């Protein structure tokens, strides 16, 4: 491979819905770029892009695949992103490291769910977008309907550069209204004849050419003035105006392709080299690499994919990992086309490549030349939408499972794994059920671990709503030294903004407690608790107060109702007894713990549940079904508005009701809706839910006994 300058590099991400033909287009681009000499097919399970066993089995893209093609003295780096929202990691990383996007649209389906979702992401990241209408050779292809759906989805942004001739099974020609030529294709390998536009299509082409000219004039004030004055722009001026609108994301050029037959792919690649922006990087700066992806690949081991953010990288060069401050040596460099990797000696600013066998490099890290301290902002991935628990069928595999899950989450940042000490479960947070099913396939087949998925437990909290008092005497006499400790205490709820009076009714009498010392603790799981010493007259020696506090803390970590964490409780220790010989620390730990438990149970205890704010973007025709489903999940609708043809629905929903919500939402809306969820607060569960939780916990305790 020749060495390319930054100006000769183009980085594009392939976006679009599932089965829109991204992988097939990537195959054709690599064929045209002479990276491969024979095009594979998804059905034949021999494409460069979908090269893993699981992708070939399911015949769909699951992982983002870095590729490249050389065309007309340019290097086009391509990231083929999966279309399903469950695997959105590929689209997000692609939009972060590429300067532009090609959006594939199935001519038989028009704008689909994946088109809409990826279109919103492209707009969010302010990336120029080329629309490529694909599969124009099928019986179901309908150019006019597809064009209408593009305008419905993207407003006035789509502008026709090409339109098809004989869309359907006889599709063989494209009219290019920018060049004002017709391309007639001779075979399935991209060969075509450039000819004049036939008379019966001339009028349509001229009308679209005029629309294109007007769109180009809108991109530049000087061009607009000339267009008004003369009514014409030269082809060069049209290029200039279209490029301005394209770079701003105001113009989405529309092309025609049939990727499977390599129809229109050369012209699309030519447009990429001429119109898509080159990376804006510091060519002469110090070396800086941004790691956007890592993977474990057969025969190679750990592979690190990066973009050169400034300067250049050469084989044998040392870099510093800015996260760990450790040194790494780049022993080999590759240009990447899926599993095919071509060794190169250097890569310049803006280019992409990979290296192998780095010691401890992860996604989102920056590798710099020694002494250079600039750090690239990490890619921010969407918040998780799916939550489940996982465990190995055979307990002996638990350690092996932990290692495999850590590897999986390192390779896919949208898959987050944590062990919850509170819930005593390994919890997986991800984007959807499809993603979790692929994880299961990998664990079963690549790691040989049988696993099962479970509904995750809910991190409930326990608190009190009234004042109560209790005492507990711990007395143990079994030969030798005894144990004795007695604790009297009062509990009351902590209410934000309201301080205590320390005045209570104890044993039927109004009692004003004398506060000697007061400690407040922020709890790691949220909320707080206060420990107040009101003991007078030496009933309990001050040296035993830490033991009492320790016993209460233990019970806070395992609440008396369901074993969940307790919070927002104020404890007053006001009396007790001790023995000159038998009183020991352990006695007061036990006495404090049990006195607190009894008082807690008498203080009108309540279970709190986590509440999430759920925001659903849903097509208007599905609004009723989605709203009804949320209400059935105990959701409280908080607001509605609209955005670009979608309804935005906001609701407060208990986490306990959100298990597999992404799957249900997809079913209700045929995959057209998306949602986000964010924790906002804890609130009391309804009485009937609390009764069920108490009974379930009691049954669980009996089973353990």
pLDDT at residue 705 above 80? no
pLDDT of residue 530: 98
Is-above-0.95 flag for pTM?
Answer: no
Q: Cα-atom radius of gyration of the chain, to the nearest Å?
A: 33
Q: Which of 235, 245, 211 is nearest to 128 (CA)?
A: 245
pLDDT at residue 210 above 90? yes
Q: What residue numbers bound the domain in which 264 lies?
A: 7-275
Q: Coil, helix or strand for 481?
A: coil
Domain boundary residue among 425, 454, 483? 454
Q: Tell me how many degrees the CA angle 365-383-693 measures, rounded to the nearest 5.
A: 130
Domain holding 103: CATH number? 3.40.50.300
Whether residue 232 sits in one domain with residue 155:
yes
Domain holding 496: CATH number? 3.30.230.10
The answer to whether residue 374 is domain-embedded is: no
pLDDT tens figures, 379-398: 999 999 999 999 999 999 99
Whether residue 427 sits in one domain with residue 331:
no
Mean pLDDT taken over the chain = 94
The answer to whether residue 702 is domain-embedded is: no
pLDDT of residue 369: 97
pLDDT of residue 370: 96
The answer to whether residue 639 is domain-embedded is: yes
pLDDT of residue 73: 96
Tell me the mean pLDDT in the region 254-273. 95
- CA–CA gap between residue 332 and residue 316 (Å, rounded): 7
pLDDT of residue 99: 98
pLDDT of residue 188: 77
Q: Coil, helix or strand for 93?
A: helix
- CA–CA gap between residue 93 and residue 15 (Å, rounded): 12
Domain holding 674: CATH number? 3.30.70.240
pLDDT tens figures, 95-107: 999 999 999 999 9
What percentage of the chain carries pLDDT values higher than 90? Answer: 85
The answer to whether residue 378 is domain-embedded is: no
Whether residue 340 sits in one domain with residue 266:
no
pLDDT at residue 478 above 80? no
pLDDT at residue 176 above 80? yes
Longest dimension (CA), the chain: 113
Count how many Cα atoms sit within 13 Å of the Cα of residue 592 in the half-sphere of its side chain. 28
The answer to whether residue 701 is domain-embedded is: no
pLDDT of residue 268: 97
Whether residue 614 sits in one domain with residue 597:
no
pLDDT of residue 671: 83
Domain boundary residue among 604, 623, 654? 604
The answer to whether residue 183 is domain-embedded is: yes
Burial call 645-681: b when 16+ CB within 10 Å, e when fewer: ebbebbbbbbbbbbbebbbebbebbebbbbbebeeee
* Cα 596–chain centre separation: 43
Whether residue 229 sits in one domain with residue 114:
yes
Contact between 341 and 307 under an 8 Å Cβ cutoff? The reply is no
Q: Which of 397, 392, 393, 432 is nearest to 412 (CA)?
A: 432
Whether residue 546 sits in one domain with residue 422:
no
Tell me the mean pLDDT in the region 651-668. 95
Domain boundary residue among 368, 401, 422? 368
Choice among 174-178, 300-304, 308-312, 532-536 with the minimum mean pLDDT = 300-304
Domain holding 353: CATH number? 2.40.30.10
pLDDT tens figures, 129-154: 999 999 999 999 999 999 999 999 99
Instruction: List all residues 6 or more positions away from 117 whose beta carbon is below 8 Å from its beta carbon.
Output: 85, 88, 674
- CA–CA gap between residue 199 and residue 585 (Å, rounded): 101
Whether residue 239 sits in one domain with residue 302:
no
The H or E element that residue 303 is part of is strand 301-310
pLDDT at residue 256 above 70? yes
Whether residue 337 sits in one domain with residue 250:
no
Helix axes 221-230, 235-247, angle to 10 degrees: 140
pLDDT tens figures, 407-419: 999 999 999 999 9
Whether residue 668 sits in one domain with residue 562:
no
Whether residue 308 sits in one domain with residue 256:
no
The answer to whether residue 699 is domain-embedded is: no
pLDDT at residue 645 above 80? no
516-520 CB contacts, 8 Å cutoff, 24+ apart: 519/549
pLDDT tens figures, 553-564: 999 999 999 999
- CA–CA gap between residue 16 and residue 112 (Å, rounded): 8
- CA–CA gap between residue 659 and residue 674 (Å, rounded): 15
- CA–CA gap between residue 338 and residue 51 (Å, rounded): 7
- CA–CA gap between residue 305 and residue 291 (Å, rounded): 6
- CA–CA gap between residue 345 and residue 342 (Å, rounded): 10
pLDDT at residue 477 above 80? no
Number of domains the chain contains = 5
pLDDT at residue 643 above 90? no
pLDDT at residue 273 above 90? yes
Domain holding 397: CATH number? 3.30.70.870
Whether residue 476 sits in one domain with residue 444:
no
Tell me the mean pLDDT in the region 525-538. 95
Whether residue 300 sits in one domain with residue 420:
no
pLDDT tens figures, 396-409: 999 999 999 999 99
Distances (CA, A) of 27 to 14, 48, 141, 620: 12, 7, 21, 37
The answer to whether residue 695 is domain-embedded is: no
Confidence of residue 60 (pLDDT cuts 50, 70, 90): confident
pLDDT of residue 670: 85
- CA–CA gap between residue 518 and residue 572 (Å, rounded): 9
Between 368 and 496, name the one with better pLDDT. 368
């Amino acid at each position: 491979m020749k060495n390319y300058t930054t100006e000769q590099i183009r980085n594009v991400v392939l976006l679009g819905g599932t089965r829109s033909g991204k992988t097939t287009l990537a195959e054709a681009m690599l064929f045209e770029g002479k990276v491969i000499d024979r095009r594979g097919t998804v059905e034949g399970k021999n494409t460069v892009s979908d090269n893993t066993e699981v992708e070939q089995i399911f015949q769909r893209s699951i992982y983002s695949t870095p590729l490249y093609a050389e065309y007309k003295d340019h290097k086009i780096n391509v990231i083929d992103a999966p279309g399903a929202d469950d695997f959105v990691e590929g689209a997000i990383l692609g939009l972060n490291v590429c300067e532009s996007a090609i959006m594939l649209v199935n001519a038989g389906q028009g704008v689909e769910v994946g088109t809409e979702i990826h279109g919103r992401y492209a707009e969010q990241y302010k990336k120029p977008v080329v629309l490529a209408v694909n599969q124009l050779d099928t019986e179901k292809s309908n150019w006019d309907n597809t064009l209408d759906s593009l305008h419905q989805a993207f407003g006035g942004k789509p502008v026709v550069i090409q339109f098809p001739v004989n869309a359907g099974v006889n599709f063989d020609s494209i009219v290019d209204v920018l060049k004002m030529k017709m391309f007639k294709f001779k075979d399935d390998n991209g060969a075509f004849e450039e000819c004049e536009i036939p008379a019966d299509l001339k009028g349509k082409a001229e009308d679209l050419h005029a629309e294109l000219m007007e769109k180009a004039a809108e991109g530049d004030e000087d061009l607009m003035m000339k267009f008004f004055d003369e009514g014409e722009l030269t082809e060069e001026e049209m290029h200039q105006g279209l490029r301005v609108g394209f770079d701003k994301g105001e113009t989405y050029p529309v092309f025609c392709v049939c990727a499977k037959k390599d129809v229109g792919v050369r012209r699309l690649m030519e447009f990429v080299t001429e119109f898509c922006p080159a990376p804006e990087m510091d060519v002469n700066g110090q070396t800086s690499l941004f790691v956007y992806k890592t993977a474990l690949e057969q025969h190679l081991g750990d592979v690190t994919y990066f973009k050169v953010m400034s300067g250049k990288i050469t084989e044998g060069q040392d870099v510093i990992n800015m996260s760990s401050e450790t040194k790494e040596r780049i022993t080999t460099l590759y240009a990447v086309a899926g599993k095919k990797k071509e060794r190169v000696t250097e890569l310049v600013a803006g280019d992409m490549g990979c290296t192998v066998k780095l010691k401890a490099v992860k996604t989102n890290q920056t590798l710099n030349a020694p002494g250079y301290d600039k750090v690239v902002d990490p890619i921010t991935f969407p918040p998780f939408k799916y939550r489940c628990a996982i465990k190995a069928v055979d307990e002996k595999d638990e350690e092996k499972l932990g290692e495999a899950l850590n590897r999986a989450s390192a390779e896919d940042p949208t898959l987050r794994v944590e062990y919850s000490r509170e819930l005593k479960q390994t919890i997986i947070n991800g984007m959807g059920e499809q993603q979790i099913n692929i994880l299961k396939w990998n664990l079963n087949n690549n790691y040989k671990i049988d696993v099962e998925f479970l509904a995750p437990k809910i991190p409930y909290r326990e608190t009190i709503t009234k004042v109560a008092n209790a005492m507990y005497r711990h007395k143990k006499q079994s030969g030798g030294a005894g144990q004795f400790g007695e604790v009297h205490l009062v509990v009351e709820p902590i209410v934000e903004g309201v301080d205590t009076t320390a005045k209570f009714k104890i044993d039927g009498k109004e009692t004003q407690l004398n506060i000697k010392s007061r400690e407040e603790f922020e709890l790691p799981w949220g909320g707080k608790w206060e420990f107040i010493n009101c003991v007078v007259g030496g009933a309990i020696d001050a040296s035993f107060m830490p033991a009492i506090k320790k016993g209460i803390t233990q019970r806070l970590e395992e609440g008396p109702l369901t074993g969940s964490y307790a919070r927002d409780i104020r404890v007053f220790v006001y009396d007790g007894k001790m023995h000159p010989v038998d009183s020991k620390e352990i006695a007061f730990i036990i006495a404090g713990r049990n006195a607190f438990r009894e008082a807690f149970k008498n203080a009108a205890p309540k279970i709190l549940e986590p509440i999430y704010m759920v925001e659903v973007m849903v097509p208007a025709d599905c609004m009723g079904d989605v709203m009804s489903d949320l209400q059935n999940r105990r959701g409280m609708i908080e607001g509605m508005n609209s955005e670009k043809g979608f309804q935005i629905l906001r609701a407060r929903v208990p986490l306990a009701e959100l298990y597999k919500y992404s799957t249900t939402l997809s079913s209700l809306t045929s995959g057209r809706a998306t949602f986000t969820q964010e924790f906002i607060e804890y609130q009391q569960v309804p009485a009937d839910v609390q009764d069920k939780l108490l009974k379930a916990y009691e049954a669980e305790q009996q089973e353990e006994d």
